[in-house]
Structure 1
């Protein structure tokens, strides 16, 4: 069989051209859902409480802020959530961070650079951005977190951004969204595609399971497309577009991305309908308050890293990659062993595969360094055949699922002995199970019986207590009456005779039975001792047990 391998080339080491395309600014004026009011201090009270702990703003600074159209609520302040600071450390556990070139080390010289507020404000104003880059003490706190307290992590992220940002930029440009949104994964996951939050959010863009499925991301035992840099980026862009249609304000969109639109709507409602992020700041969940300030701080830090002696740490991501589309089951070990590529590198380039396996139920992407692509194509037959039986065993798989009599290896019960019973005329699955004191479901499982269909002469496996092996082995020599006697029952036909009314008619040596609602071949056979369901089907030339219909007349011949 000739395999189809599609090769869309994606060169990831090249800086892609960035164009600023304004998104559709049409705002949805729908009424925000009513939220239950909670007991919270008023915004004015919060400002006063905050201001008591802060130095008084000098008149020159305040005049500068007003002159540059900067929000005069400069005294807004808040401590940085410890969880946000600690989450940056998770990036260090990745393979490609542990193998970073040591020559790209953090420069300690002049790491703490004292800057006036006006410097920060002018620098933020100089950044070309469709998103408002406000400045206040909260933003300043996050800038100092990045530029002073978490310098090493920032340099790692800057190195990784050389690989991931071109992906984000191309998708944002294609969808007409601001390029600055490429910094969101910095805040969400610290550019760790395998990041998993305590709440269950996963991937670069931190999608929850439900939201990921809503935006058509494939999530199963083998694949989690929330970790796929390209597919998750498209899903994130769709989500951001949907949120912008609701709010028409990028600060609120970014906040909603983190805590959900429900919490943003509650904050707006509790603030008297205000739709400025800084007006609803203290009404948002605590973990979300610092989300927009951290986003602004990330943009500042990445644009002015040299001014703070921050430099990218080179990662081991390849400069250029190709993407192959694979439509056959494949294990990373097969690729690694044949073309000599480290399996860890395969995992880092393809983080969406949970078990190192491409399932093969459809075409899946496999990203490889450019120098390994031609080797894969040349050796693809060897790759797919390498230890195939070991990685993808076919022992327990049904070759033809439509074959109802296909054998399969069942699990034998412990401490039980195996007995073979040969089916005789008049036998039924339920009767055999009762004679051997086993469950009908177990008898069907041991013998792969479907719809209770058995044949005369068929050998059935039955597991019985070892102490009664000789007793049950004698059942092959017993007739129907003797086997019924072991249950304390006679082979009397009184019960069947009482039911022979208008639904049953005798015609010489045959009985004609009219099918009623709820009947099947097994229940009908039970009414006539000595007759099996297979006998009824054979006598009436019926091959499909599911074809039985109410009102249908069946010819039955009693067996002696």
Structure 2
């Protein structure tokens, strides 16, 4: 993940970030389109434009002030412990900007306010997570009947009994191809001599299962993918095999044209861990707010925007809802999927046309959305007739996995040990697990390579629930003994023998009862002692200088320790805010 993505990594507390940045129209376009609407062919005077700019500056100032008033109220409630009310007001402070129709990136004041707002709200989220991960759990269900979003059940309890709130790993992401759409410009070679008739011929040959207007621009994007965009198209066609069977099935069940599954190629290049600069995530690039609206859980442990099945169903339902909104016009539905229905509603109202190509010609939609719809249509045409366009890519086979229901927290490293499955592959099969563990006190459906479920279930009968985030397993080799395994792992031979019985056989799974995260920090039981003591030979303590953007959870994750151990060693409260330059004692593995 590059620095630009890393800087926006965890801002999941803010709802609808993508709408703020994708729902944009350049300032000059807005001004020019308004000028064109002032009479038939009339030209605006030089004095009219500054007046319009002045009015817009005043509007920006009002939006900032109104947004800031909700933020200040949210801060007050947060400090007073009214976290739910604070969350609603934090959301409202952002919504005011999102719903204003203003281009966040075209005005320095508005952009600075927005970025500062998001950063502050993110800090508040991290404070809650450090205090108790469960306190930050928010799950919203969206009822298709049109009811308002309602709160759903939360994870019960903070940390599991006997477990530790240790710093689990963080999600990693890949770039979203959406980021390139904003600046993509077709070359003269790609557009030269292209006609609507050519596009009509391409559409007819593809036999697409929904109606739209063929346009020369679609053929231009076909030319783009046959040339300089070939590598992008080939990568998507190859990856698509993992998911298209599943996606087509779900789209069919939801009554959405199955060819629209190719929207995922433009959104994410079929990567469940794709993340755009605007905080959209997953195959279908849901922003936090829209994901919550369609029932996708987003909390400390799980982000279902990266789920294969749940995010696909949410995408189908959202597309269907948008198509119904625009009387079955799938071009407008796709445009609204990208930029938000508010932007498309506004463009329709200003132009008087409920037609994508009309609002395109009038410059009433953001550049990314202008590129987005013809890109999808070109992608569908190529995907359905790849050889005609010179592509001979063999799609990868569908992912083959079983679901296994697990409860309590379970570390995927233990799952990897028990099932002889590479840890990275388990992460790839379960991209919605943000920290490499299943959530506490939930029945979670874990994906395992087909046929591996029985191995995991057998292993879990041998390991107490409260030890499933710390204990590990390994396979006994020829000539292994408890003594040799002790030397490898640092766990005493007597402890190994106690949990595994009296003998070892080659090929047998051996439980390694490590404490904490392979090495444990043990504190002095003498209550009069003011200094935490590290048990001999099991861990060491380093000093760490806090950097800008650090929080307790990220530091704990980096050194495979726990927030609790760090706060105890440094006599900090669980909600303490770190300062850049602050020096901490951190217990780490040898």
What TM-score does the superposition give when structure 1 sets the normalisation length? 0.50
Give the structure with the higher percent helix. Answer: 2
What TM-score does the superposition give when structure 2 sets the normalisation length? 0.47
Which structure is larger by alpha-carbon Rg, 1 or 2? Answer: 1
